[in-house]
Amino acid sequence: MNFKRSLIAAAAVLLTSASTVVLTSCATDGKQTASAEAPSARGELVSMRRLTAAQYERSVADIFGKDIDLTGRFETEVRVEGLNTVGAANASISAGGLEQYYAMAASIGEQALAPKARDKTMPCKPASAKAPDDACATAFLTKYGRLAFRRPLTAEELSSRVALARRVAEQRSDFYSGLQEALTSVLASPNFLFRVERALPGKHRGDRPLDAYARASRLSFMFWNSTPDDELLTAAESGALMTKAGLQAQVDRLAASPRIADGVADFFDDAMMLDMFASQSKDPLTFPKYSGALAAAAREQTLKTIVDLLVTKNGDYRDIFTSNDTFLTRELAMVYKVPFGVGRGWAPYTFAESEGRSGVLTQISFLSLFSHPARSSPTKRGVALNEVFLCQTTPSPPGDVDFSLINEPNPLLKTLRSKLTAHATEPSCAGCHTLVDPPGLALEGFDSLGERRSYDNGELIDVTSEWQGKKFSGAVGLGRLLHDDARAPQCITKKLYASAAGRVIHEDDPALKDLTAQFTRGGYRIPAFLKVLAADDRLYKVPAARPAEQQPAAPTKVAARNGASS
């Protein structure tokens, strides 16, 4: 219908840029008509973050129920500073992408208003199912528009959609068909697809507080990685969320919910770049145990491990490098070469010391993601370890770097260690390899899939290493080193802060040092730290722009160059 086409065309044009001017326009679905609730009256638009795939999925499940089947495809995520949630601020939606989002919106609308689902979703019953009913349409769109936009709809946003529902219902003699089109327009709106944040006026640049709805969204996505619920939005509407006590009450409520596990799992899924499993492949002749199902299980294993340690047991974050408590399926146990008890689902398991494993670094997810399809890569593992857990970025290799020493068979250089050592003698390579190879070489006791091994190309593997002036051996030694590395807690503090704020956090950010100290004093407990962060007023302030932020931040190195050869 014409409205659909015009909406797509307008939004496609508007969303292909991320400039503030465009974003302001988007916030009213392209309509510039002034109203009592025009965006300008609700504060200045300061950021728009495209929902990540996980946030979209969780939001839809929370709004309409877990039965909704999402069949569409999402735009590629943009990872900045190691996080998609930060890159989301740089992400736009292409014309083709908008078609996908529109199709998903239509599908959700169809499912949510299917005859069997109406009892659950409809807040009212229309006077006739074959005719328009503005009152019922208004009730429905008010309820779901508020949850989708994470704020109440403006009068115009609501009336235009009620009018749409009316027109379609008249044309098709079907109330629900009209409502479905109106719901589709809500879910295809930039106000749903992007987290639109507005700031209230401040005394000076850098002191503008976010409005209550932006505050509610930050809280909800930080703890649950999903849209704010009714209670949180009510707290925003009443102004309670802008008070210290009101904020603390919501922080306590969100943190006490078991759904904090979702937020923690999604954060680590993002921080550990586990979404890269979607494009991973392994040489089936070398690693016949690998499959898409195994990859999915490996991803889930790591998230289950982390949630169990950090949330369920409220453990020390640093133990993710040393704890051998995990969860396995029968297929995962095959790769770990350990027996698996009766049953087909997940079961807790603790690796014995003799297995030589140490925390998440020695799980299939990390070991296989940061390897080549047919062989391991100490360099990839080292780069990833530095970036993911220590926030240490590695420069890209020179354009003319010669990888032949590593990739070509050499009877004199059988192991990867010997090849890398020879490769790193080249001055242009030595600088970075000295930083990243030592931890990676300690993990050489695990092949590209994550199976234990003792030999590389027929030669006994040497897993001793020296890094940061300390000598250690194997994964266990590396795990202990990372556990005691002060950069690790500072890095996770920085990433949690960046993810919640949706922007790059610089080393000189005054809040970072303080937050890290609180994390340390709190015994490195993630749930407690989230509460500290969420209650910190600095999270809800718009910082003054830095000169370096005139240009979009560069994509994360590991993600950008996961095809590098060494």
Q: Which residues of the chain form contacts with another protein (CB under 8 A)? A: 284-285, 287-291, 330-331, 333-335, 337-343, 347-350, 352, 354-355
- Report CA-CA distances (Å) from 485 to 205, 358, 443: 36, 15, 18
Backbone angles phi and psi of 198, in degrees to 5: -120, 150
Backbone angles phi and psi of 111, in degrees to 5: -70, -40
Q: How far is the CB of 351 from another protein (least distance, A)?
A: 8
CB 190 within 8 A of CB 29: yes
Q: How far is the CB of 472 from another protein (least distance, A)?
A: 24
Instruction: Select 115 or 341, whichever has its Cβ closest to another protein.
Output: 341
Tell me, rounded to whole angstroms, the distance of Cα 530 from its chain centroid. 16
| Closest C-alpha to 148, from 230, 87, 223 | 230
Half-sphere exposure (Cβ direction) of 224: Cα atoms closer than 13 Å: 25
Residues 6+ apart with CB under 8 A from 469: none
Q: How far is the CB of 354 from another protein (least distance, A)?
A: 6
Q: How far is the CB of 418 from another protein (least distance, A)?
A: 22
Instruction: Select 120 or 453, whichever has its Cβ closest to another protein.
Output: 453
Instruction: Select 173 or 312, whichever has its Cβ closest to another protein.
Output: 312
Tell me, rounded to whole angstroms, the distance of Cα 254 from its chain centroid. 19
Instruction: Select 207 or 353, whichever has its Cβ closest to another protein.
Output: 353
Q: How far is the CB of 6 from another protein (least distance, A)?
A: 49
Residue 279, Cβ density class (10 Å: 0-12 exposed, 13-18 middle, ≥19 buried): exposed
Instruction: Select 245 or 352, whichever has its Cβ closest to another protein.
Output: 352
Instruction: Select 19 or 354, whichever has its Cβ closest to another protein.
Output: 354
Q: How far is the CB of 241 from another protein (least distance, A)?
A: 43
Instruction: Select 201 or 339, whichever has its Cβ closest to another protein.
Output: 339
Residues 6+ apart with CB under 8 A from 425: none
Q: How far is the CB of 458 from another protein (least distance, A)?
A: 12
Instruction: Select 336 or 467, whichever has its Cβ closest to another protein.
Output: 336
How does strand 44-50 pair with strand 455-456? unpaired
Cα radius of gyration (the chain): 26
Q: How far is the CB of 15 from another protein (least distance, A)?
A: 41
Q: What tokens appear for 426 in the block?
A: 């080249």
Say what the alpha-carbon torsion angle 221, 226, 230, 234 is, to the nearest 10 degrees: 20
The DSSP 8-state label assigned to residue 67 in this structure reads T
Q: How far is the CB of 125 from another protein (least distance, A)?
A: 49
Instruction: Select 332 or 496, whichever has its Cβ closest to another protein.
Output: 332
Q: How far is the CB of 353 from another protein (least distance, A)?
A: 9
Instruction: Select 131 or 338, whichever has its Cβ closest to another protein.
Output: 338
Alpha-carbon gap, residue 417 to 401, rounded angstroms? 18
Alpha-carbon gap, residue 266 to 88, rounded angstroms? 14
Alpha-carbon gap, residue 225 to 227, rounded angstroms? 7
Q: How far is the CB of 352 from another protein (least distance, A)?
A: 4
Half-sphere exposure (Cβ direction) of 127: Cα atoms closer than 13 Å: 6
- What 3-state class would DSSP assign to 386? helix
Q: How far is the CB of 454 from another protein (least distance, A)?
A: 9
Q: What tokens appear for 349 in the block?
A: 């398991």
- Report CA-CA distances (Å) from 288 to 234, 355, 449: 53, 22, 10
Instruction: Select 340 or 403, whichever has its Cβ closest to another protein.
Output: 340
Instruction: Select 426 or 459, whichever has its Cβ closest to another protein.
Output: 459
Q: How far is the CB of 523 from another protein (least distance, A)?
A: 24
Give the angle 256-262-268 at the CA atoms, nearest 5°: 115
How does strand 347-350 pair with strand 325-328? antiparallel
Which alpha helices (DSSP H) does 354-473 contain, by range?
364-369, 378-390, 404-407, 416-423, 427-442
Q: How far is the CB of 377 from another protein (least distance, A)?
A: 21
- Report CA-CA distances (Å) from 240 to 4, 77, 237: 38, 34, 8
Instruction: Select 85 or 324, whichever has its Cβ closest to another protein.
Output: 324
Instruction: Select 334 or 564, whichever has its Cβ closest to another protein.
Output: 334
